[in-house]
Amino acid sequence: MAKQYDVIVIGAGPGGMTAALYASRANLSVLMLDRGIYGGQMNNTAAIENYPGFSSVMGPDLAENMYKGATQFGAEYAYGNVEGVEDHGATKVVKTDTDTFEAKAVIIASGSEYRKLGVPGEEAYGGRGVSYCAVCDGAFFKGREVIVVGGGDSAVEEGLYLTQLASKVTVIHRRDQLRAQKILQDRAFANDKMNFIWNSNVEEILGDDQKVTGVKLVNNQTGEETTLDASGVFIYVGILPKTEQFSDLGITDDMGWIETNDHMETKVDGIYAIGDVRVKDLRQITTAVGDGGIAGQQVFKYIESLADQSAAVK
Ligand code: NAP
């Protein structure tokens, strides 16, 4: 028989862990499922400077503290690569690659993943110079020249982190203005190790039979082609929702993000979505945590309403 919980939270990032904290503190039985270690993208982030209560905190440290908080009232955490959720009204069935669980409500907090650039060489040199995680892989490039592709918060923040390790960091951006927050831009422009190549697209990641040696670039204003040597290429060209496994529920928009109301309710009763995976303007740890608190509270009300309905039937 499938193991039963009041609430299953899919994803143990900041949103999922906060939802688990609120729901378990309301005396609900809660299981968090994640296919990786708890903490989500916080584990790939060096210094976090925009989480209240800390002037700066290491991502993995914040993840650890959130996990302690999330589990203190009995919420459980388990490995689970969720392959689908079935809606049977008052019961939801959550299937992973190894188990089947049942719950009265499900909170989807599966987050987002880095978008690929989609150029030749990107896949072939994955783990051999191409990376999507400066904190994980930056140390391999100590004293070497690296390239960062993108112009958003991730590109600039991770580029700045890489200046502590690499001898030179070149940001290649497709426009002549960064999208990143002003404070990050100011820091990047003031950093001697940061360089910028504007209006340019990476056409190919080049390498020898072992590792990355550079990139082929095209200036999208002049059409001029150049080659830039580097040992590492860090790609930060945006994020995509991790929602493929929920497509049958009909709760996503055209791009795959999940639509919710202010109560984090999706179109399906008893299924909630929080954090990066939602349609929203600002994807931050703070906003994920806020979503998690709301969903944890709403799920309590929803489960109470189910109990009231079943009492009325009797
Ligand atoms: P993002 O804000 O979507 O930025 C993606 C960047 O990649 C943009 O500069 C975009 O160029 C560029 N780009 C997209 N497709 C490209 C392509 N095919 N070729 C070349 N360049 C391409 O993504 P993000 O930086 O990963 O950030 C994701 C979310 O997390 C954002 O909401 C961000 O604010 C948040 N975040 C916050 C922090 C923080 O607060 N400290 C840190 C990291 C991330 P254009 O500018 O021309 O569109």
Cα-to-chain-centroid distance, residue 199: 27
- Residue 250 gets the label, from left (phi > 0), alpha (psi -120 to 50) or beta, of left
- CATH number for domain 3-114+239-313, candidates 1.10.3720.10, 3.40.980.10, 3.40.50.300, 3.50.50.60: 3.50.50.60
What local confidence, expressed as pLDDT, does residue 44 receive? Answer: 86
Supply the pLDDT for residue 151: 98
Options 87, 99, 133, 269, the catalytic residue = 133
pTM above 0.95, yes or no: no
Instruction: Tell me how far apart the alpha carbons of residues 218 and 72 are, in angstroms, rounded to a whole number.
Output: 53
The full set of domain ranges for the chain reads: 3-114+239-313, 130-235
Q: What pLDDT is stored for residue 307 in this prediction?
A: 84
Kindly state if the Cβ of 215 falls inside 6 Å of ligand 1. no
Q: Are 41 and 16 in contact (CB under 8 A)?
A: no
Q: Which two tokens stand for residue 30?
A: 């809660």
Ligand 1 lined by 236 (C-beta under 6 Å): yes
CA distance 255 to 283: 16
50 ligand 1 Cβ < 6 A: yes
Is 136 annotated as catalytic? yes
Give the residue whose CA is nearest to atom 16 of ligand 1: 237
Residue among 93, 111, 113, 95 nearest 103 (CA):
93
First to last CA, the chain: 25
Q: What superfamily does domain 130-235 belong to in CATH?
A: FAD/NAD(P)-binding domain (3.50.50.60)
Q: Which residues of the chain have pLDDT under 70?
A: 314
Nearest CA to ligand 1 atom 23: 238
What local confidence, expressed as pLDDT, does residue 232 receive? 98
Long-range interactions of 91-97: CB distance < 8 A, separation 24+: 92/8, 92/270, 92/271, 93/2, 94/8, 94/10, 94/33, 96/33
Tell me the best of 55, 215, 239 to mutate to test the pocket of ligand 1, counting ligand atoms within 8 Å of each CB and taking the most: 239
- The pLDDT assigned to 311 comes to 79
- What one-character DSSP code corresponds to residue 115? P
Q: Output phi, psi for 288, to 5 deg.
A: -65, -40
CA-proximal residue: ligand 1, atom 32 (nearest): 283
Ligand 1 atom nearest residue 118's Cα: 18
Closest to 292 (Cα-Cα) out of 52, 107, 40:
107
- Given this model, what pLDDT does residue 135 score? 87
91 and 82 Cβ atoms separated by less than 8 Å: no
Q: Which two tokens stand for residue 95?
A: 């299937």
In angstroms, the CA 176 to CA 38 distance is 37
